[in-house]
Amino acid sequence: MSTKTYKLDPKAPPGLTDAARAAYDATPDAQIDYDDIPDMGDVEWSRPSPKPTVTMRLDEDVIAYYKREDPRGYTRRMAAVLSAFARRNRSPE
């Protein structure tokens, strides 16, 4: 017997087949077994405070530099650089 291996891409998970989707949709909520879900106790869920939106003008070459690595996360990386700079240059309290 041979072993078949699969490599899954977390950014593109496989979809359900039509038969699996139909079986899933046909299952009543009362038949779902929740016993394997750990008890979370009295956990309060909350969203982190939203960060303020800031508009600033940047040179095109600066934007291009950050977009080159990954266009989707360039503003997050810019914020991380600014945050590190601010932490490093804070005056002692």
Residues 18-64: pLDDT tens digits? 999 999 899 999 998 888 888 888 888 888 888 898 999 999 999 99
Distance separating alpha carbons of residues 19 and 15, to the nearest angstrom? 11
Q: What is the pLDDT of residue 10?
A: 82
32 is a domain residue: no
CA angle 23-28-30, nearest 5°?
Answer: 140
38 is a domain residue: no
Q: What is the pLDDT of residue 28?
A: 93
Q: What is the chain's percent helix, strand, coil content, to nearest 5?
A: 45, 0, 55
Q: What is the pLDDT of residue 93?
A: 67
The distance between the two most distant Cα atoms of the chain, rounded to a whole number of Å, is 68
28 is a domain residue: no
Task: Let me know: does 24 contact 16? Beta carbons within 8 Å.
Answer: yes
31 is a domain residue: no
User: In total, how many domains does the chain have?
Assistant: 1
44 is a domain residue: no
8 is a domain residue: no
The torsion angles phi and psi of 70, rounded to 5 degrees, stand at: -160, 110
41 is a domain residue: no
pTM: 0.46
67 is a domain residue: yes
| Structural domain span for residue 89 | 54-93
Distance separating alpha carbons of residues 45 and 70, to the nearest angstrom? 31
